[in-house]
C-alpha cells in the first residue's frame, strides 16, 4: 500500500499520509492536519494519491475563481500551506506499481535520506499547534494552497472588476448578515472566503458601499418630502455632492486601509495578514450599509400620517448598533489584540446601543410625528412665546433646508393663532372704547339743550367756544371710514413678550390684508427691514447649528433674542402705524 511521508520543517515532525489522503486546514475545523494560522481556511489543501500520483490540491478557492491544477509531489520537494512549510521525505509506491509520470513538479531540493523502516499509519494528531513565526523560506515556490502575506498590487482592471463584484457581494451578504449575523460572522472568520485584495480592488469594493450609504439618506429625505407635502426636490434624488464625497472617501480608504489597519493591529499586539484584513474590510463595509438603512427608513416612515410608525426605523437602528458591536468584538478576538481592547469596545458599544434605545423611548414619549406628514411634533404656546419642537437640526444641507421650511411653517401657524387672538382682543378693546366715546358724545350733546332753558350769563358762547372737547374727542366719523386709527406715538417695546405679541399681530394683519403694505411706503420700508434682519439671523444661527447640531435649540433661542434687539423698534413702529397696542 502506497504512502507518503511529509516533514513539518518548523517542528521537524514527520507525518505519514495514507492513500486516501489528508486535508490541511486551520485549527478549529475538521481538517486532518490542523494548523494554527489565520491566513488559511478550515479546509485549505489536500494531499492524496490519485492515478498513481501523489498530488497537492487546493480546496479553498474564492467564489468565482477557478481552482489551480493539482501539483505532483516528489521526494525532496517542498510546499507551503499558509505560513507552514512541509517537505516530501519519502514516497512509498505500491508493489509492482509503475513509476508515475511527472506533472507540474514542485521545486526539488536535496533532503534527508528516506527512512529505513516503514512507519506505521496511525490517525494523526494536530501536526502543528503554533503558526510558524518565520515567513516562508526564501526561494520556496508559492504554494497554490497558501495565501500571500501582502495584498496584490492590482491595477485599473482590478478597479473595474471590483465594482461589479462588490455590488454582487453586498447584494448577497447584506441580507445574510441581517438574517443570520452569528452564523455569517463565524463562517467568515473560520473560512476567510475572500482572497487578499490590493488598493485598487479595495476601492472597487468600497465604492458601492459608500455610495449606497451616502445616497440612502438623501433619497429617503426626498421621498419623505414628497409624502409630507414638501414637493419634489431634484437635488435630494440626484445628490451630486454626497456622491462625489463618497467616491473620494472610497479612493482614500483603498489606499490607506491595509497600512493603517496593519499598523493599528501591530501596535495592539495583534496578528493579521492581507487576507484577514481584506475579509475584515468587506464585513465592515457590509455593516456600513446595514447601519444606514434604519435612518433612511425612519425618514420615510416618519413622514407618513401614522402615529409612532417612525419607531420601526429607530428599533432597527438599535439592532444595527448591536450587530456592529458583535462583529467588532469577534474580529478583535480573531486578531488577538491586547486584552484591554475588548472591554473598552464593549463599553463604548454598549453606550452607543443604550443611546439608540433612549432614542426609541424619547420618540415614543414625545413623538416627532403623529400623522401630520411632517417632523413637527407640536406647536405649544407658553405665555407670549411660541415654541416649535422639531428636534435637532440635521447636518445634511438638504435635510437642514427641509427642516428650516418646516420650522418656518410651524412658527407661522403658531404666530397666526397668537395674532388672531391679539387681533380679537384689540378689536374688543376698540369696540369698548367706541362705546364709551359714543356715550360721552351723547352726554355732551345733551348739555347745550339743558343750558338754553336758563338765562345764561353773558359768557355762555365764549365758554362753549373755549370748550374743545367735542371737537377734539369727536374723531368717530374718521375712525369709521378708515379701519386703522390715527398714528399714535411710538412707545417702547416693554420686553420680549410684548415684542413677540406685536410681531405676531403684525404678521397676522399683513396676512389678512396685504394691501396695507401696498398703500403705505413707510410700512413697506419698515417691514422690509424686519424681514432682512430675520433672514440674516436665520443664516447666521443656521450655520452654527450645522456645526454643532446638539446646540440647535440654544441657537434658536439666541436668534430670537438677537432679532428682538435688532428689530424691536421696527416692530413697534409698524404696530403703531397699524394701531396695534
User: 326-335 pLDDT, tens per residue?
Assistant: 999 999 999 9
- Which residues have a Cβ under 8 Å from the Cβ of 295 and sit 6 or more positions away? 216, 217, 220, 313, 317
Round to whole Å and give the CA distance between 68 and 70: 6
> How sure is the predictor about 407, in pLDDT bands with cuts at 50, 70 and 90?
low
> Residue range 469-480: average pLDDT?
45
> Residue range 173-202: average pLDDT?
86
Q: Which of 97-101, 157-161, 260-264, 513-517 has the lowest mean pLDDT?
A: 97-101
Sheet with 13-17: list strands edge to edge. 13-17, 3-8, 84-92, 78-81
Higher pLDDT, 10 or 160: 10
Round to whole Å and give the CA distance between 310 and 371: 11
Q: Which of 77-91, 153-167, 302-316, 395-409 has the lowest mean pLDDT?
A: 395-409
All structural domains of the chain with their residue ranges: 1-135, 156-365, 386-433+489-581
pLDDT of 497 strictly over 80: yes
Round to whole Å and give the CA distance between 56 and 49: 9
Question: What pLDDT does residue 253 have?
Answer: 93
> Residue range 21-36: average pLDDT?
90
Note whether 501 and 421 are within 8 A (CB): no
Question: Quick one: angle between helices 240-267 and 199-227, nearest 10?
Answer: 130
At residue 102, φ and ψ (nearest 5 deg) are: -100, 130
Round to whole Å and give the CA distance between 169 and 209: 10
How many other CB atoms are found less than 10 A from the CB of residue 177? 22
> How sure is the predictor about 300, in pLDDT bands with cuts at 50, 70 and 90?
confident
Q: Give the residue carrying C-alpha cell 419623505.
A: 224
Question: What pLDDT does residue 397 have?
Answer: 52
Higher pLDDT, 373 or 536: 536
pLDDT of 367 strictly over 70: no
Task: Provide the percentage of residues in the chain whose pLDDT is more than 70.
Answer: 67
> Residue range 96-103: average pLDDT?
42
Q: Which of 53-67, 90-104, 278-292 has the highest mean pLDDT?
A: 278-292
The β-bridge partners of 387 are 380
> How sure is the predictor about 577, in pLDDT bands with cuts at 50, 70 and 90?
confident
DSSP characters for 371-412? SSSSS---EEEETTEEEE---SPPSSHHHHHHHHHHHHHHHH
Cβ-in-10-Å burial (0-12, 13-18, 19+) of 231 comes to: exposed
Question: What pLDDT does residue 441 have?
Answer: 63
Round to whole Å and give the CA distance between 551 and 469: 58
Q: Give the pTM.
A: 0.45
Note whether 310 and 363 are within 8 A (CB): yes
For 310-354, what is the HEC assignment?
CHHHHHHHHHHHHHHHHHHHHHHHHCCCCCCHHHHHHHHHHHHHH
Task: Provide the percentage of residues in the chain whose pLDDT is more than 90.
Answer: 17
Q: Which of 258-272, 279-293, 398-412, 449-463 has the lowest mean pLDDT?
A: 449-463
The architecture in CATH of the region 1-135 reads Sandwich (2.60)
Question: What pLDDT does residue 85 have?
Answer: 92
> How sure is the predictor about 285, in pLDDT bands with cuts at 50, 70 and 90?
very high
Question: CA quadruple 537, 540, 541, 542: dihedral positive or negative?
Answer: positive
pLDDT of 212 strictly over 80: yes
Question: What pLDDT does residue 405 have?
Answer: 63
Question: What pLDDT does residue 481 have?
Answer: 46
Q: Give the residue carrying C-alpha cell 425618514.
A: 299
> How sure is the predictor about 181, in pLDDT bands with cuts at 50, 70 and 90?
confident
> How sure is the predictor about 18, in pLDDT bands with cuts at 50, 70 and 90?
very high
Amino acid at each position: 500500500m502506497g504512502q507518503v511521508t511529509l516533514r513539518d520543517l518548523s517542528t521537524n515532525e514527520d507525518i505519514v499520509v495514507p492513500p486516501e489522503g489528508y486535508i490541511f486546514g486551520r485549527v478549529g475545523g475538521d481538517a486532518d492536519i490542523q494548523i494554527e494560522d489565520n491566513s488559511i481556511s478550515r479546509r485549505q489543501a489536500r494531499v492524496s494519491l490519485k492515478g498513481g500520483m501523489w498530488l497537492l490540491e487546493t480546496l479553498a478557492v474564492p467564489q468565482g475563481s477557478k481552482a489551480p491544477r493539482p501539483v505532483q509531489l516528489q521526494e525532496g520537494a517542498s510546499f507551503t500551506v499558509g505560513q507552514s512549510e512541509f517537505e516530501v521525505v519519502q514516497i512509498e509506491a505500491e508493489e509492482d506499481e509503475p513509476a508515475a509520470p511527472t506533472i507540474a513538479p514542485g521545486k526539488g531540493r536535496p533532503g534527508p535520506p528516506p527512512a529505513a523502516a516503514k512507519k506505521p499509519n496511525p490517525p494523526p494528531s494536530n501536526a502543528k499547534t503554533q503558526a510558524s513565526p518565520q515567513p516562508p523560506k526564501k526561494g520556496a515556490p508559492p504554494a497554490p494552497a497558501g495565501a500571500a502575506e501582502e495584498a496584490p498590487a492590482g491595477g485599473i482592471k482590478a478597479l473595474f472588476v471590483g465594482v461589479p463584484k462588490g455590488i454582487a457581494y453586498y447584494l448577497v451578504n447584506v441580507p445574510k448578515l441581517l438574517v443570520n449575523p452569528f452564523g455569517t460572522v463565524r463562517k467568515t472568520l473560520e473560512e476567510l472566503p475572500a482572497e487578499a485584495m490590493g488598493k485598487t480592488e479595495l476601492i472597487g469594493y468600497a465604492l458601492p458601499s459608500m455610495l449606497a450609504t451616502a445616497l440612502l439618506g438623501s433619497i429617503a429625505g426626498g421621498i419623505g418630502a414628497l409624502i409630507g407635502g414638501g414637493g419634489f426636490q431634484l437635488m435630494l434624488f440626484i445628490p451630486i455632492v454626497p456622491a462625489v464625497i463618497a467616491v473620494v472617501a472610497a479612493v482614500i480608504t483603498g489606499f490607506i486601509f491595509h497600512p493603517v489597519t496593519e499598523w493599528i493591529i501591530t501596535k495592539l499586539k495583534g496578528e493579521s495578514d492581507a487576507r484577514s484584513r481584506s475579509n475584515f474590510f468587506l464585513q465592515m463595509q457590509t455593516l456600513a450599509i446595514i447601519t444606514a438603512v434604519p435612518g433612511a427608513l425612519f425618514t420615510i416612515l416618519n413622514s407618513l400620517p401614522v402615529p409612532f410608525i417612525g419607531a420601526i426605523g429607530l428599533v432597527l437602528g438599535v439592532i444595527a448598533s448591536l450587530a456592529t458591536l458583535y462583529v467588532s468584538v469577534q474580529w478583535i478576538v480573531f486578531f488577538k489584540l491586547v486584552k484591554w481592547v475588548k472591554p473598552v469596545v464593549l463599553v463604548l458599544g454598549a453606550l452607543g446601543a443604550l443611546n439608540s434605545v433612549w432614542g426609541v423611548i424619547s420618540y415614543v414619549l414625545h413623538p416627532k410625528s403623529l400623522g401630520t406628514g411632517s417632523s413637527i411634533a407640536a406647536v405649544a404656546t407658553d405665555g407670549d412665546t411660541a415654541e416649535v419642537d422639531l428636534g435637532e437640526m440635521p447636518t445634511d444641507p438638504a435635510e437642514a433646508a427641509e427642516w428650516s421650511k418646516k420650522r418656518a411653517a410651524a412658527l407661522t401657524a403658531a404666530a397666526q393663532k397668537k395674532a388672531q387672538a391679539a387681533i380679537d382682543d384689540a378689536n374688543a378693546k376698540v369696540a369698548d372704547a367706541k362705546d364709551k366715546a359714543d356715550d360721552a358724545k351723547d352726554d355732551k350733546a345733551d348739555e347745550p339743550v339743558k343750558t338754553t332753558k336758563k338765562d345764561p350769563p353773558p359768557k355762555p358762547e365764549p365758554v362753549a367756544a373755549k370748550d374743545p372737547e367735542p371737537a377734539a374727542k369727536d374723531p368717530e366719523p374718521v375712525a369709521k371710514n378708515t379701519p386703522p386709527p390715527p398714528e399714535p406715538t411710538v412707545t417702547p417695546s416693554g420686553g420680549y413678550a410684548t415684542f413677540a405679541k406685536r410681531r405676531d399681530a403684525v404678521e397676522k394683519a399683513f396676512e389678512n390684508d396685504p394691501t396695507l403694505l401696498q398703500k403705505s411706503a413707510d410700512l413697506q420700508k419698515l417691514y422690509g427691514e424686519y424681514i432682512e434682519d430675520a433672514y440674516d439671523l436665520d443664516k447666521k444661527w443656521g450655520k452654527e447649528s450645522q456645526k454643532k447640531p446638539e446646540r440647535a435649540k440654544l441657537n434658536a433661542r439666541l436668534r430670537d433674542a438677537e432679532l428682538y434687539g435688532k428689530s424691536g423698534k421696527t416692530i413697534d413702529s409698524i404696530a403703531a402705524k397699524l394701531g396695534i397696542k
